[in-house]
Structure 1
Amino acid sequence: MRKILFLISILVFISCKKEKIENQFFSKVINKRDFPIKNFSKIELISYYNRIYWDTKFKGEFPTHKILVENYKLTFDSTMIQERIVLNKAQEKELLNLMISDSCSIDQITSACYNPRHMILFRDDKDRIIGYNEFCLECASSRNSSNLEDFQKYCYYDMSNLFKKFGIKLFVESDDKKANEKEVAFIEKLETLSK
């Protein structure tokens, strides 16, 4: 019985020590690294069906040429956003920690598809967009505001998991038949409405 209590107390001590070290590491990383957007008041995660199919203002243009934010606002139809989550302070720290770390130990293979469905928005105290990061999980590619150009070193897999952890549910992957069917039905409905 004493051995079991001793082992439990050691495990609790190690767990607490590990959490303390992780918290110290995080605060050191945030303080040491100079995250370029200092005046944000909130961070939002948004998801939408493949923007390339419904973004009519720039339909037909190659997606990398599209200006996504102009005059502190999205240039695409924000009513098309399916999910919107405003992060709390702990979630903000977790997201920033991932963004500033060079977490990807594997080479990410990129492809040419660019089917963006997710975006991180940094807003100031007037609710204006002052930075963004839109990405496509399928091709491991992204578009950033100019003030976030050096913060694209994370693994897309890690960012996908973080979005899921924070409550984003819209993910369309090539082998997910149900999600693909939902997206196709959404796009077909839009095309029918626009006729």
Structure 2
Amino acid sequence: MKGLATILFLTFTVISYGQDTASNELKPTPTGFVKYSLNKRLSFFPFTSAKQIKLVSFHLQDDAIKGQQRRSYSIPLLNGKVDLSKLTDVVELNSSQIDSLTDILYNDCSKWTLIEQSKVMCYMPRNAIVFYNQKNEPFEYIEICFECLGFKTSSNEIISPDKCDIMFKELQLLFERYGLSTKMSNK
């Protein structure tokens, strides 16, 4: 009986040390950051060179959805340029929407001291921010995968925002608020 009591005591002791408590949770904490102004955010490339900015959704190629071999997942391209005919949802942003977008991209992560960022290795993007030049041609883009919280830029010249879970959640809500699909579709 004494042996059983000892085993039970040791088991409960070990189990109790493995439990997380509310005080041990990793939470972002405010940093007292200095917020980038709209003018400063618009001075970042490619915002500074864009005549228009559009949020877009696209479907992955059929071969990717059916599980067949494909070299890479990305925004549809034709001759190195965004293939506009393959975009399923397109929303042109006005100045207040651009303000909201740049605030999320360049101010959200800076507000917090972040302990860690989620990582999932799927990278199957279905959304992008596309920048158009004076000739109404796409010249740069930031493609986004909301499932794995990742993004890629079309060039190294783009001032990349910091990556954090908070930014991706806010960015996804922005896309959805403007009527763009952010989830996998079987179309």
- Give the TM-score, by structure 2 length: 0.63
CA shift at 1:109, angstroms?
A: 0.9
Q: Is the 8 Å Cα contact of residues 52 and 116 (structure 1) preserved in structure 2?
A: no
Q: Does 1:30 align with 2:38?
A: yes
Mapped partners of 1:161, 1:101: distance in 2: 16
CA shift at 1:152, angstroms?
A: 4.2
Mapped partners of 1:52, 1:142: distance in 2: 21
Question: What code does the residue aligned with 2:86 have?
Answer: M
Q: Which runs of 5+ in 2 are unaligned?
A: 1-33
CA shift at 1:31, angstroms?
A: 3.2
Deviation readout 1:127-161 (Å, 9 max, x if unpaired): 12222110111011111122225224352111001
Q: What SS does the aligned partner of 1:63 have?
A: coil
1:156 to 161, 165, 168: 168
Higher strand share: 2
Deviation readout 1:1-50 (Å, 9 max, x if unpaired): xxxxxxxxxxxxxxxxxxxxxxxx97x62334541221211100110223
Greater Cα shift, 145-154 or 122-131: 145-154
Mapped partners of 1:138, 1:97: distance in 2: 22
CA shift at 1:83, angstroms?
A: 0.6
1:129 to 132, 138, 150: 138
Query: 1:44-193 counterparts in 2 under 5 A?
Result: 44-51=54-61, 53=63, 60-63=70-73, 68=77, 73-74=81-82, 77-103=83-109, 105=112, 106=114, 107-146=116-155, 147-153=157-163, 155-168=167-180, 170-172=181-183, 183-184=185-186, 186=187
Q: Which runs of 5+ in 1 are unaligned?
A: 1-24, 173-179, 187-195
* Paired residues, number: 143
Deviation readout 1:100-128 (Å, 9 max, x if unpaired): 22427443312111111101001111112
Mapped partners of 1:80, 1:100: distance in 2: 29
Q: Is the 8 Å Cα contact of residues 114 and 139 (structure 1) preserved in structure 2?
A: yes
- Give the TM-score, by structure 1 length: 0.61
CA shift at 1:85, angstroms?
A: 0.5
CA shift at 1:68, angstroms?
A: 5.0
Q: Is the 8 Å Cα contact of residues 102 and 153 (structure 1) preserved in structure 2?
A: no
Q: Is the 8 Å Cα contact of residues 42 and 122 (structure 1) preserved in structure 2?
A: yes
Q: What SS does the aligned partner of 2:37 have?
A: helix
Q: Is the 8 Å Cα contact of residues 123 and 129 (structure 1) preserved in structure 2?
A: yes
Q: Is the 8 Å Cα contact of residues 46 and 119 (structure 1) preserved in structure 2?
A: yes
Question: What code does the residue aligned with 2:160 have?
Answer: D
Mapped partners of 1:113, 1:50: distance in 2: 13
Q: Is the 8 Å Cα contact of residues 44 and 159 (structure 2) preserved in structure 1?
A: no
